[in-house]
């Protein structure tokens, strides 16, 4: 009986967590998103050696990727980045949402096509379709602003 109860609670917790993560992922809504970057530097805080500017520039606009599926959420950008969403997380409370996502990005011009792991944390107000936060890819870090494009 105890095992059944624990199993039921585990499944219920997983369902609630998955639903919350999906709700946060959709908080900015569907469609293209413009992401602008600022305060780019190396992860240790030293000035950008050019790597970060080359990878992120001033920003880019994400678009649905033709290979995206329910099992593998992919995005592309207007600059040629290939993005695979690895994990989605965050929360919604009292009119504020947070996003804590992880991506693998293949940057344009990378002949080796080596994916770089990028972590992002951002917050916004429910209903505004904008969020601001920080990111790091292990080499570069900085701030970002996300805005849903008019549909």
pLDDT band at 135, cuts 50/70/90?
very high
Give yes or no for residue 8 having a pLDDT over 50.
Answer: no
Is the pLDDT at 119 greater than 90? The verdict is: yes
Mean pLDDT is highest, among 13-17, 71-75, 145-149, for 145-149
What is the pTM (predicted TM-score) of this model?
Answer: 0.77
The DSSP-derived string for 1-60 is: -HHHHHHHHHHHHHHHHHHHHHHHHTTT-SS-EEEEEEEEEETTSPBP-SHHHHHHTTEE
């Amino acid at each position: 009986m105890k095992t059944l109860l624990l199993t039921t609670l585990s499944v219920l917790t997983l369902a609630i967590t998955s639903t919350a993560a999906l709700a946060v992922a959709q908080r900015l809504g569907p469609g293209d998103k413009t992401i602008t970057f600022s305060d780019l530097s190396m992860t240790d805080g030293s000035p950008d050696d050019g790597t970060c500017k080359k990878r992120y520039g001033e920003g880019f606009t994400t678009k649905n990727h033709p290979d995206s599926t329910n099992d593998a959420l992919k995005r592309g950008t207007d600059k040629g980045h290939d993005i695979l969403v690895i994990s989605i997380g965050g929360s919604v409370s009292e009119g504020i949402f947070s996003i804590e996502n992880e991506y693998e990005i293949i940057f344009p011009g990378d002949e080796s096509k080596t994916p770089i792991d990028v972590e992002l944390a951002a917050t916004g107000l429910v209903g505004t379709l904008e969020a601001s936060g920080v990111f790091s890819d292990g080499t570069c870090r900085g701030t970002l602003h996300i805005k849903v494009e008019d549909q």
